[in-house]
Structure formats: C-alpha cells, structure tokens
Structure 1
C-alpha cells in the first residue's frame, strides 16, 4: 500500500532533476555492481513514488507527462532504427524477417489467448492488449544485451525484433481498437479500414522522405556540422507529430523508418550521430522508467487476482516460446539460439505507455475489464524485466552464446614482439585475438595457435565476422603510428577510453608532432616505440608471467627484477589490466603480473615455482 505523504507538490524543475539523478544514478550503480540497470530503475521509481509519495508524476509534472513519454519513446525507437544497418544484419536477416512477418501475427494471437483464458479479459480487451504485447521492448533489450554480452547473431535477432515489432505492436493495437470502436459506435468498417491504411501509408512515406532528404542534405553539405544534431531532432519531432496527427501511434512507425533510412545512407557523420543518439537514449530510458514506476497505483494492482499470475506464466512459458519456435522453424537459426530467443521476451516502456492509453479509451467505451489492462501491463513488465535481467547472462552462458567469461585483449599488428606478448596472454589463459591487414605478418601468431584476423579491424568485414564482445581491451601496435592513432581513436567509444592502448609514437617527444589527448590510446609497459620493442625481442628480452603471494610480494619482485618492465596485471578473476610506466600496481595474493624481462633472467625467482 502506498504511504500517505504530507509532502507538497514538487517544483517541476526539481522533479525533472530527481528523475534524471535517479535514472542515471541507477545505471551507474548497476554498472558498478554488475546488475541489470532496469531492475534498479524500477525499484527506485517505486520507492520514490507509491511507497514514499515523495514524487507523484501526475501531481508534480501534470499534463506534460503524457507528451514527454510519447516523445521519449519516439526518440528511443528512432535511435533503434538508426542502429539497423542492413550490412550488419548479415546471417540474422532471415530469422528477423520470420520473427516480424510470422512472429508478430502469431504473437498477437497467442497473447490474446493468454489474456482471454489466463487473465479472463473479454475478447475485445484481450485483442487490443494482445496487439500491444507483440513488442518485446528495445528500451529493455538494449541494456540487457550490453550487460549479457551475447554472441552477434542472437543479439541481432533480439535487437531487431524488438525495434521493428515495437511500432508494429502499437499499430496492431490501433487496428484492434478501430475494430472494437466500429462494433460499439456508428463508425463504418470501410471508414475505419481507410483511416488505418492512410495512416500506415502516410507514416511510411514520411519516414522514407525524411530520412532520404536528411541524408541528402548532410551529404551535400547543406547543413553545417554544428547544426546536424539540432536539425535531426527538429525533423524527428516534426515527422512524429505529423504522422501521429494522421493516425495515433503511427508516428512510431514513421520515426523508426526514418532511422533505418539514415542508418543505410552511408553518411560520413553517421557514427557521431549514432553515438549522440545512444547517449540521449540512455537518459530517456532512465527517465521514462522512473516516471512509469513512480506512477504505479497500488490500488489498481489490488484489483488483480491469481489469474494474473497464470497470465504471466502463459506468456513467458507458452505464448512467447510457441511464437518463436514456429516463426524460426526451418530458418537455419541454430536450435540453441532459438531457445535463447524463445525464452527472452522482456517488455518495456512502449507496452506500459500504449496499454495505459488504450485502457483508458476502452474504459470510455464502457468495457468493465478495461481498468485491468494497465496493472496487467505493469506486472508483466516488472516480472519479465526482473526475470530476464537476472537470468539472461547465465542462461546464455549455459547455452554457450556469450563472449568469454574472462574479457580478452585484441592486439592490432603482427610482429615479433606482439606475438611474444600474445603468447604470454594465451599462457595466462587470457583470450587474445591478433589482427593485421597484412596476412604475412600473422604467420608467427598462427604458428603459436593464436586466433587471428587478416584484414582491417575498422572494416565492415571485421564488424561482421569478429565477436568483439569477448574482448575488453585493445592494443594498437602496428609499425604505422598514424594507423595506430586512427584505430585507437575510432574504437575508443566501443571499448572505453581507459581500455584502449597504443604503442609509443616515434616522434612523441617532438612538440610539433604531439597530439591532443582526445586522439590515440593510452601508453603502457615500457615507453618504447614499435621498432624499439622489436629490437628488445631480437636482443633476447622475453615476456614472463609471475604469480604473487603473501610470501612473494610485488616489492620482492621489484627488488629482484629492477630491470624488468611491467606490462599487465591479471586479477584473481582473470581480468587483465595493462600497466603504464611507473603506475602504482595494487598488489594482492594470487595476482599475476606479465613483465618484459632482459636476457639471462630466466632462473627461478624463489624456491616455489611462481613463473611459467
């Protein structure tokens, strides 16, 4: 039961600040604790809303809440469409088409049956709500995929299905509601069908024209760089509003199509736009979840009975698996991936927002069970978010569909010293991948049994073929300083700037050749150029692994090996951290260190064997 609070209405500015702080704060805490962020946001929203009464969106924000959520969902879906580059879909294309063209109608049917026989809703309410339940929630899927680190194809299947089916689910609800409206008003069937066709056509045309026009304007230089994001936002809001005016909720379809068109237009500034939109989406997802959770009405939940539990179980254990298995039958998608997709169906923002909207409309038409739609939607979202938030990663690991348990290292550049370093990483059981545009430079790595990729790490082929989710650290170490800087700068947003390293540049000490801190990667190990490291290996220097203990500490190792250069620290959990010169290293028992040691230093360091 909600706690009655005597706290007065919160100022709108303070309310927005609270929502932002809790949303982003929950995501940061979840990152630190390695927990699903959605779960923490849900808990935070419920605590400040119905539990304590500190924040009441209807009271503190008022009529702005509905439009804010609608615009936020539109921007989230546009960002989702902006990630749907057809070149990146690759071998998941057939599965996605089946999940959309077969899975969406079948999901509508199975969800409607679950609502009718599980929750006990009328056919009219079940049909409208069942259409909304087609969606699986890109606002939930994206954070879960980021945490679970799934393999490329199942991740693509889940992401594309969520994004493409979101507007389809909203439109299915519109269609069902129009039919219900026809049955309960004097509106003709022909008029309802005509409105629906016009709305979908207008949304599709507007999305294509807006995306194509914007891409053309950007390519021809009609919009300066500093205005590209503002122009994009203004056009996005305009297209959403115009399409939504023609047919309610069709704006979701329009902005999704607009995003897809832009994603496949090969814009030079595409990455900057996409990353900015990703940052905006993190803020919007956080805010919307806090708002919806804080708006929860416990009295509405008390209307539910045990049939709500049977409804949720039917959706998770029957409706969703049946839909996926039938849709992917004969698709060529491996059975393990089908199982993962079938039992991963979290619902999110769009479901709650659209369900609340159509629930109110059905109440207006006099359906007695319509007030149950909103609480049923929230219960389904809460259960699926918590369930999949905590089980997706271990379930995917059990199926063998995640990256390595120990985050690995990508080494860019094949040479004698990088091969020696990669061999040490492999011996320490740290996953390592070596890439080089020159096939011959990888000869030594292949002979040592190190996984390799011959090609440019920045190419589309690398993006499609490499499972980079298994790697958390990147080392740019070719003999071309300019290429190293390019790779480190381009991939820093993907790996994290603190996890991208670069071998020292040849002209690093020259003031005329020094680069800004925003370019390139961090230094590590001994401050030597690529040529210098090659010379050290040629002179007999070797990479060695040493395990520290309470009896043999880092200070003991430093005292005995003053000439050695520390390169990396491997924690007790197997995670590796590259070390800069003179950086303080946190010592601990059972921690291993990788160092480059001079010739003639291969004798044991202490009676107990600690080196390999």
Structure 2
C-alpha cells in the first residue's frame, strides 16, 4: 500500500523525477541486456502505488492530462512518420501479408477477445483492440539481438513491428472517432455526419500541414537549424487547432501529417527522424512512468480471472490465428510461422495510447474503460517477460537460430578485407562483406563469405540486409569520405563504440581532420587503405593465434614483434576490436587476430 506520510512533490521536482527514472531505467536495462519496459514498470509502480513517493494527480495536478495528450500526439506522429508507403510496397511477401491481412484481422481478434473474454463493451474493445495490433518495435529489436534468429523469421518480426506500429495507432484513433460520433449524436445520420466531418477536418489539417511543411523545406524557406523546431511547433499547432475545431480530432490529424511527411522524400528527413526518435524515447518513457505511478490499486485489484484468461487468449489464440491465416499460401515453413505466431510482445506505445484513450472513454461514461490501463499493463508485462525468456530457447528448439556470436559487417571489397573476412569466418565469427561494385566481391564469394552487392545505405540494403545479426561495422573502402558517411550514418544502429574505419589519408593534418562527431573509431591497424593494400602485396597476412599458459601474449609478441594487433576473440567466442593505444592483456584461451609480416 502507498505510504500516506510522504509530502507532495512540487511539479518541477516531479517532472525531473519522471525523466530521471524513465531514462535511468532504459540505461540500466541496456547495461543488463533486458527489456527496458520491465524495469520502467517496476520502477513506476514502486514510486507510485507501493511507496507513495510520487502521485501524478497530486504532484503534477492539472498539468498531467495535457502533458500526456501532447506526448501521445508526438508518439502517434512518430508512428505516422515511420510509414513510408514505398517501403510497404517493397516489403517481402510475408511482411505485406502480416500488414494487409494481419492488421485488420488482428484488430478483429483482439476486439473479440476484449469483449467476450475480458468483458469490455464493444466501444472500449474496438478502441483498445486497434492499438493491440502494435507488437512493439522498441521491444522486438532488443529481443532479436539477444535471440539471434535466422534471417527470415527475424525479418518478419522486425518489419511487422515497424509497419504495424503506425497502423495500430491509426486504427485506435479511427475507432475512437467512431465511438465519439455514436455517443455524442442523437441519430444515426447525425453520428455519420459527425464522423465524416471529424475525419475530413483531421485529414485536411494533416495533409495540408504535411504538404505545406514539405514544400517549405524543399524550397529553402526554412533554414536547416530551424527545421526540427518548426516541425515540432507545427505539430503542436495542428494538434491544438484540430482539437479546437472538432474535439478529439487532433490525434488523427498529427498521424496523417506524419504519413504525408514520410512520403514527401525530404532531403533532411533522416535528421528529423532521428531527432524525433530521441524525443519520442524520452516521451514514451515519461508517459509510461506517469501511467505506472498513477495506477489505481483498486483498479488492479479488479482484475480477476477474466484478465488472466484474456492475456492467455491473446497470446495463445488471437495472435497465432492472425499469423497463420495471414501467411496461408506464403510458402513460409510451418516452424517459422509457429515462431512468429507465438512471438508478439507489446510495448510502451500500447500502454501510453491505451491509457490516454481509456481516460477519454471513461470521461464519456464508459465505466468499463477503467480496466483498459490495467489490462494494457498486464498484457505488456506478460508478453515481454514470456517472450524475453522463451524466444531464444524456443528458436533453438525449432532450429531457427542464426549465429551464436555477434557478427561483423565489412564495407569494401579488396584483397586485404577478403583475407580478414576469411580469418574471421574460420574463427566462426559471422561476416558480411558489402560493396557497390559486384566485381570487388568476387574473391569473397569464391571463399564462401556472405556478400551484398550494393550500397549499404540504400533502401535495398535496408530491406535485404539483416543488420540485427551483426554487432560491429568496419568501413574499409578506398574512399575516406564514403567511409566517414557510412560510419556516421550507421553509428546509431550499431553504437558508436562498435563502428570503425580505416585511417584516413592526411588525417594528421589539421586542415584535413574532420570533427570528432563524424566518422567511426580508427581501426587498430593504424594504416590507410593504400598502406594496407601495399602490405598485403608484400606478403603480410592476417592470422589468428590462440594464447595459452604455455604460449602467452609475451611469447606471441616476441615471436612476431612487427605484427599489428587488430582484435581478440574471447573465450565466449565474441570478437573485440582493439582501439588505438588500447592496452591488451591477453589470457588463456583468447585468440589474437593480427596482421603479420611474411615469414622467412
């Protein structure tokens, strides 16, 4: 029970506490390699219902409602901004089926489960069922990295989560608009008219704002440093204006605005998307902590056997039926369908959007809507915990796991990169070599190394290359500018500490040095692409040597004092690339990978 003796926090302290706990939980989860949502749920309930340190209604008061509304509006806009229709058309057949067939079918199955099992009214079930389409892209990605599934099921799960994220949000918004129209109108014709007007106003506002912003950006009417502030100011303006014209139409307007901008082919789209993703992470964690801390203990107590039955039906019936029907005739093997069918973790977006709509429905007189937030928390907690602990062993049981160790992506085909890839492959480190030039990958293909012929930054690579299977990237082309571009662009994907590039030409000159914010870490070989090419031509070779108690690191260095240390493979099989001036201690069972001079 909550502690009654603790005094109220002032709003500034309360908001700071929410931010610290939300971001702190995500950081700790990253360190522990576990889903952040579990820690955020525990932390929110501890400081709220259990200890009574923070009560949103008491400490933030009337600001809480508008804060959550604006945060959810930005979250839904982010979802719309992720829906590139060209990407959807190019998606593989199985993914398209999970979107075109799976989304509406999942909405129907979820609504049926909510109505007949959880006991919600059709209105509440329709709204909550729409957002249940979302399988949580922020949860799926860490699970896939940990489980290391084989390529096809990993691709299906990853792209289903990405593409259904905005579709689920849009479905919930549309269902909510229908509920409002039916419950505020006196006749059926009036309800249809209100629904039409609401959808038309929201669509017109979203389309007009999206097209206007895109044209302003393309024509240079907004300077680069103001694009993100203008975007967010317009977003909030469209949300507020649409809501003022027609109540509750703002969420639909900002979602459509995001979809329009996503398909406008803006040159600065990537920068806006990344900044927006960072803001969304902060907002999502904040909303989740607010909702968890504000959970009504009595509402949690009202969850009975029907709630448990609802979660079981969603996990064991609704999700599998949706997946199997969607993938009928797709040619995907049964075991892969089974793995996808039993993997459907829900994320923070579900809780945030469901919590807001639950409050709105409750204000309209739907008393059963008080159960939406507790049911959302229960569904998220169970699916994240169950999939988090069972996905990897279940995939191994079905024989659907990829490599057990994190792999390496090498950008650039050449004699020395091919030789390095061969050494890594012999050490059982997964390797992917890419190069826009098909001929440069000829030796790598002959050596049995996985290759991708094309630009790693292209849309084709985004569709065909499963980067989730790789933990390290090495940009090693003969073009320093391209290496810098690739490492800068993909650093958020891999983490800056795992992105390397060969030493640049003239990198020591202050006139040619690039800012530290650009490019990757220098590869430990401390040589340019041309220098490495010459060393290979002189007979230098990459070799892997196992250290032991009899043959220590000192023995290895004495044997080959000129060798250039590149990486070590730990006893657990993971590779660690050495950074410039990093001290290497060695150890029994560790493999040393180095570029060694020709033997006499």
Asked if Structure 1 and Structure 2 have the same fold, meaning a TM-score greater than 0.5 normalized by the shorter chain, the answer is yes
Could you say if the C-alpha distance between residues 334 and 79 of structure 1 is closer, same or farther in structure 2, counting changes exceeding 3 Å? farther
Give the counterpart of 1:172 among 172, 175, 178. Answer: 175
Please list, as runs of the form range in 1=range in 2, the aligned pairs for 1:311-322 lying within 5 A after superposition: 311-322=310-321
Residue in 1 aligned with 2:166? 163
Cα offset for 1:101?
Answer: 5.6
Task: Give me the whole-angstrom Cα distance separating, in 2, the residues matched to 1:218 and 1:459.
Answer: 23
Cα offset for 1:231?
Answer: 0.4
Could you say if the C-alpha distance between residues 280 and 372 of structure 1 is closer, same or farther in structure 2, counting changes exceeding 3 Å? closer
> Could you give the per-residue CA deviations for residues 337-394 of structure 1, whole angstroms, max 9, x where no partner exists?
5444433444455654565566566666766655444433432333233333444455
Task: Give me the whole-angstrom Cα distance separating, in 2, the residues matched to 1:126 and 1:194.
Answer: 21
Residue in 2 aligned with 1:606? none
Query: Alpha carbon RMSD of aligned pairs, Å?
Result: 2.8
For 2:588, what is the secondary structure of its paired residue?
A: coil
Cα offset for 1:253?
Answer: 2.5
8 Å contact kept, 2:135–2:344? no
Could you say if the C-alpha distance between residues 119 and 500 of structure 1 is closer, same or farther in structure 2, counting changes exceeding 3 Å? closer
Cα offset for 1:437?
Answer: 2.3
Please list, as runs of the form range in 1=range in 2, the aligned pairs for 1:394-543 lying within 5 A after superposition: 395=394, 404-543=403-542
For 2:216, what is the secondary structure of its paired residue?
A: helix
Cα offset for 1:43?
Answer: 0.7
8 Å contact kept, 1:325–1:338? yes
Cα offset for 1:429?
Answer: 0.9
Please list, as runs of the form range in 1=range in 2, the aligned pairs for 1:68-79 lying within 5 A after superposition: 68-79=67-78
For 1:540, what is the secondary structure of its paired residue?
A: coil
Could you say if the C-alpha distance between residues 252 and 329 of structure 1 is closer, same or farther in structure 2, counting changes exceeding 3 Å? farther
Residue in 2 aligned with 1:192? 191
Could you say if the C-alpha distance between residues 405 and 81 of structure 1 is closer, same or farther in structure 2, counting changes exceeding 3 Å? farther
Count of residue pairs brought into register by the alignment: 593
Q: Which moved more, 1:95-104 or 1:230-239?
A: 95-104
Give the counterpart of 1:152 among 152, 155, 159. Answer: 155
8 Å contact kept, 1:346–1:388? yes
Q: Which moved more, 1:15-24 or 1:369-378?
A: 369-378
> Could you give the per-residue CA deviations for residues 129-156 of structure 1, whole angstroms, max 9, x where no partner exists?
3432221375943233244247334311
Residue in 2 aligned with 1:381? 380
Could you say if the C-alpha distance between residues 36 and 422 of structure 1 is closer, same or farther in structure 2, counting changes exceeding 3 Å? same
Residue in 1 aligned with 2:49? 50
Return 5+ residue gaps in structure 1 as ranges: 602-612
Please list, as runs of the form range in 1=range in 2, the aligned pairs for 1:323-342 lying within 5 A after superposition: 323-330=322-329, 335=334, 338-342=337-341
For 2:207, what is the secondary structure of its paired residue?
A: helix
> TM-score scaled to structure 2, two decimals?
0.91
Could you say if the C-alpha distance between residues 239 and 342 of structure 1 is closer, same or farther in structure 2, counting changes exceeding 3 Å? farther
For 2:91, what is the secondary structure of its paired residue?
A: helix
Please list, as runs of the form range in 1=range in 2, the aligned pairs for 1:181-260 lying within 5 A after superposition: 181=183, 187-260=186-259
> TM-score scaled to structure 1, two decimals?
0.89
> Could you give the per-residue CA deviations for residues 55-80 of structure 1, whole angstroms, max 9, x where no partner exists?
11111111211221121111112122
2:131 is the counterpart of 1:135: yes
For 1:545, what is the secondary structure of its paired residue?
A: strand
Cα offset for 1:447?
Answer: 1.9
Residue in 1 aligned with 2:291? 292
Could you say if the C-alpha distance between residues 21 and 403 of structure 1 is closer, same or farther in structure 2, counting changes exceeding 3 Å? farther
8 Å contact kept, 2:133–2:164? no
Task: Give me the whole-angstrom Cα distance separating, in 1, the residues matched to 2:103 and 2:528.
Answer: 56
8 Å contact kept, 2:502–2:527? yes
Return 5+ residue gaps in structure 2 as ranges: none
